[in-house]
Amino acid sequence: MMLTLALSHDGPPLDLDVALPAGEIVAVVGPSGSGKTSLLRAVAGLIRPRSGRIALGGDAWLDTARGMSKPTRERPIGYVSQHYGLFPHLSALANVACSLTHLPPGDRAARARACLALAHVAGLDDRLPRELSGGQQQRVAMARALAREPRVLLLDEPFSSVDRSTRKRLYVELKRLHAELAATVLLVTHDLDEAALLATHLCLIQRGRIVQHGATGDVLTRPATVAAARLLDLPNLFTGTLERDGAARTLRWGPHALALPAAADAAPAAGTAWTILPTKVLLHRVDRPSRGERENPVRATVADLVTLGDDVIARLVPEGLPDARLHLKLSLHVAQRNSLAPGREVTVSLLADAIVPLSGE
Give the rounded percent of residues in the chain with a pLDDT score beyond 70.
95
Cα distances from 81 to residues 104, 190, 223, in angstroms, run 27, 14, 29
In a domain, 358, yes or no: no
Nearest-angstrom CA–CA distance, 24 and 306: 37
Q: Could you read off the pLDDT of 266-309 as tens digits, one per residue?
A: 566 768 999 999 999 999 976 665 555 578 999 999 999 999 99
The reply to whether 334 falls in a domain is: yes
CATH of residue 340's domain is: 2.40.50.100
Residue-level pLDDT at 223: 96
pLDDT in the model for residue 289: 54
Cβ-count burial 130-147 (b if 16+ within 10 Å, e if not): eebeebbbbbbbbbbbbb
Domain assignment present for residue 290? The answer is yes
Residues 6+ apart with CB under 8 A from 222: 356
Residues 297 and 253 in one domain: no
**Domain annotation covers residue 7:** yes
Contact between residue 33 and residue 25 where contact means Cβ atoms under 8 Å apart? no
CB 205 within 8 A of CB 7: no
Domain that holds residue 53: 2-230
> Is the distance from CB of 127 to CB of 121 less than 8 angstroms?
no
pLDDT at 315: 98
Q: Are residues 20 and 147 in the same domain?
A: yes
pTM: 0.88
The answer to whether residue 357 sits within a structural domain is no
Q: Which residues of the chain have pLDDT under 70?
A: 1, 12, 264-268, 270, 286-293, 361
Residue 291 has a pLDDT of 54
Phi, psi of 304 (to 5 degrees): -165, 165
Q: Could you give the number of structural domains in the chain?
A: 3
Instruction: State whether 159 and 259 are in the same domain.
Output: no
**What's the CATH number where 93 sits?**
3.40.50.300
Q: What is the dihedral of CA 222, 225, 229, 231, to 10 degrees?
A: -120
Residue-level length of the chain: 361
- Per the CB < 8 A criterion, the answer to whether 292 and 282 are in contact is yes
Number of alpha carbons in the 13 Å side-chain half-sphere of residue 264: 0
User: What's the gap between Cα 253 and its chain centre?
Assistant: 30
Residue 30 belongs to some domain of the structure: yes
- Kind of pairing, strands 209-215 and 256-260? unpaired
How far apart CA 189 and CA 343 sit, in angstroms, is 39
